[in-house]
Amino acid sequence: MYDPEKAHYMSATAILVKDNKFLIAKRADNLKSFPGQWTVPGGKLEKKDYINQPKDTSVHWYNLFERVVKREVKEEVGVNVNNIQYLTSLAFIRNDNIPVIIMSYYAEDHEGEIKLNPELTEYAWATLEEAKKYPLIEGIYEELEMLDNILKGKEHKEWKKSE
């Protein structure tokens, strides 16, 4: 039986890394969620991401969020990503009351030239310090901090609000 208390949109995002810089992009001003703010590429899990694929066990499909990351990064910024690693997870309630769960990943291994889709209007490769100058969606900067620590070999800690 369908239980609306357990129903969510599922999304995945990816922070791409190149030369110690992070790819961030500006969302178009006409989008419903976070218009004009800067973010990282990502999007919703769709049934088509697995339903027509062979199952990995007799009943399961594995690596769904990694597939979403690959598809969404390609669609939004035009590059192919490999070696996708988990960073953190979050939830929010959209303006239309739909709950969303987001799995956040990162990838240092990617190929291709940046080509933005119409949902994104600008992009930048920014250091952690440079990222402070952009109006990022709340929480993204802390994800960049987490990843910066990982890349510097520091302990991987849970997401925490910056002071």
Straight-line distance from the first to the last Cα atom of the chain, in angstroms, rounded to the nearest whole number: 44
- Range scoring the smallest mean pLDDT among 6-10, 100-104, 148-152, 155-159: 155-159
**Beta-carbon count within 10 A of 39 CB:** 20
pLDDT at residue 155 is higher than 90 = no
SS3 75: helix
Per DSSP, helices labelled H in the chain are: 64-77, 128-131, 140-151
* Mean pLDDT confidence for 113-131: 97
* Mean pLDDT confidence for 30-38: 93
Name, in order, each residue with C-beta under 8 angstroms of 88's C-beta and a sequence gap of 6 or more: 104, 143, 146, 158, 159
Give the domains, in start order, of the chain with CATH numbers: 9-151 (3.90.79.10)
pLDDT, tens digit (0-9, with 9 covering 90-100), for 43-58: 999 999 999 999 999 9
Here the tokens at position 47 are: 């049934």
pLDDT at residue 157 is higher than 90 = no
